[in-house]
């Protein structure tokens, strides 16, 4: 079987807000009226000062629209900016901009299971050649209607130990462009082997499960819902955090726990992944060194229960004691 490509496709709707950082200050966030213009010598193109986030606006069952955990996503955006020697994004202005953008373009929000993907992007647009932190930046907030990242029948994973995604002390916990470009060779290798995605192992021992190409990993072992500990090389996923906190509300035993690729997987009964674009995605199989360590055709009971609770929370069918749904 050939690997299935993600369905996360979108075209530019022209719905975006923009701001610039000049002389140490951000301009007002404004509606973009012209195509983006950029010098070919922009430092962001040459040296990689480019970061992004992604969160979503969804139709609620009562017909309203809500944005899920925007403040938490923008806080992570700020942490990524600090790591990449970039200015702190104007979070309050972005929150107001999210409301304005979604209200103005509510027509773009698709019916379930689709959603409006909100993509903040910041990059250096200062022209130059010196490999030093830039002093000028461009910020935009785009709105794109999309379908879920993967098909609901799940994906097949394989390790590719000759490649690593992130090393200790690096940028593995950041949503920066270079992380994704560097991971593409490993993903392509996994697909060449007939799988859908790569299952990344740690960079030091090439033994410990970390995450997939675009999602955090969760698994059930001996009846407990687990996910690998963060430690700086794994993206601190907002969906990952949501599921762990939902597990407590569902009285599920859950927490961080390391998982070695060479240990006995017979006690692993479910594997799934979590991400903003992917939601909860069933993992059909896990392969390492040509050996299938885990295989399951359908989502298990824990993944089904927590996945349903997550979707109910997103769509307004479940109480929101944390205030994660921001109405627009």
| Confidence band for 213, pLDDT divided at 50, 70 and 90 | confident
pLDDT at 97 over 70: yes
Residue 232's region, left for phi above 0, alpha for psi from -120 to 50, else beta, is left
pLDDT at 43 over 70: yes
CB–CB of 175/86 below 8 Å?
A: no
- Domains of the chain: residue spans and CATH: 16-146 (3.30.470.10), 155-314 (3.20.10.10)
What was the pLDDT predicted at 9? Answer: 60
DSSP, res 107: G
CB–CB of 66/118 below 8 Å?
A: no
What was the pLDDT predicted at 11? Answer: 67
Helix (H, G, I), strand (E, B) or coil at 94: helix
pLDDT at 174 over 80: yes
What was the pLDDT predicted at 241? Answer: 98
d(CA 117, CA 145): 6
Measuring CA to CA, how many Å separate 304 from each of 155, 243, 247, 272, 295? Answer: 16, 12, 12, 10, 16
- Tens digit of pLDDT for each residue in 279-296? 999 999 999 999 999 999
| Averaged pLDDT of the chain | 94
pTM recorded for the entire structure: 0.94
What was the pLDDT predicted at 151? Answer: 62
What was the pLDDT predicted at 277? Answer: 87
What percent of the chain stands above pLDDT 90? 90
DSSP, res 87: P
Q: Report which of residues 4 and 141 the model is more confident about.
A: 141
pLDDT at 122 over 50: yes
Helix (H, G, I), strand (E, B) or coil at 28: coil
pLDDT at 5 over 60: no
What was the pLDDT predicted at 149? Answer: 67
Q: Which sign does the torsion angle of CA 190, 177, 276, 274 carry?
A: positive
Q: ∠ at Cα 85 (80, 90), nearest 5°? A: 60
| Confidence band for 116, pLDDT divided at 50, 70 and 90 | very high
pLDDT at 40 over 90: yes
| Strands (DSSP E) found in 23-171 | 25-26, 30-31, 50-52, 55-59, 65-68, 115-124, 137-146, 155-158
- Which residue carries 């394989």 as its tokens? 158
Smallest Cα–Cα separation from 247: which of 278, 216, 223? 223
CB–CB of 220/302 below 8 Å?
A: yes
Helix (H, G, I), strand (E, B) or coil at 279: strand
């Amino acid at each position: 079987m050939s690997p299935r490509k993600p369905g996360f496709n979108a075209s530019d709707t022209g719905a975006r807000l923009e701001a610039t950082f000049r002389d140490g200050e951000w301009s007002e966030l404004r509606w973009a009226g012209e195509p983006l213009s950029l010098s070919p010598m922009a430092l962001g193109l040459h040296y990689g000062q480019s970061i992004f986030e992604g969160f979503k606006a969804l139709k609620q069952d009562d017909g309203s629209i809500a944005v899920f955990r925007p403040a938490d996503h923008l806080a992570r955006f700020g942490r990524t900016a600090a790591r990449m020697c970039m200015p702190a994004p104007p979070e309050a202005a972005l929150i107001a901009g999210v409301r304005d953008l979604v209200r103005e373009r509510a027509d773009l929000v698709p019916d379930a299971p689709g959603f409006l993907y909100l993509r903040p992007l910041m990059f250096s647009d200062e022209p130059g050649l010196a490999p030093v932190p830039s002093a000028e930046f461009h910020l935009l907030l785009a709105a794109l209607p999309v379908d879920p990242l993967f098909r609901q029948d799940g994906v097949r994973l394989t390790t590719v130990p000759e490649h690593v995604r992130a090393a200790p002390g690096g940028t593995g916990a950041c949503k920066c462009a270079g992380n994704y470009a560097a991971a593409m060779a490993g993903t392509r290798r996994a697909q060449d082997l007939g799988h859908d995605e790569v299952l990344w192992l740690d960079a030091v021992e090439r033994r410990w499960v970390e995450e997939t190409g675009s999602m955090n990993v969760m698994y059930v072992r001996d009846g407990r819902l687990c996910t690998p500990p963060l430690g700086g090389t794994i993206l601190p996923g907002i969906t990952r955090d949501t599921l762990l906190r939902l597990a407590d509300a569902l009285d599920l035993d859950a927490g961080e726990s390391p998982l070695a690729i060479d240990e006995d997987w017979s006690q692993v009964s479910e594997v799934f992944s979590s991400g903003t674009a992917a939601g909860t995605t069933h993992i059909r199989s896990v392969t390492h060194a040509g050996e299938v360590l885990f295989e399951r055709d359908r989502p298990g009971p824990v993944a089904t229960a927590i996945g349903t609770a997550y979707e109910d929370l997103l769509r307004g069918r479940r109480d929101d004691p944390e205030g994660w749904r921001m109405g627009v």
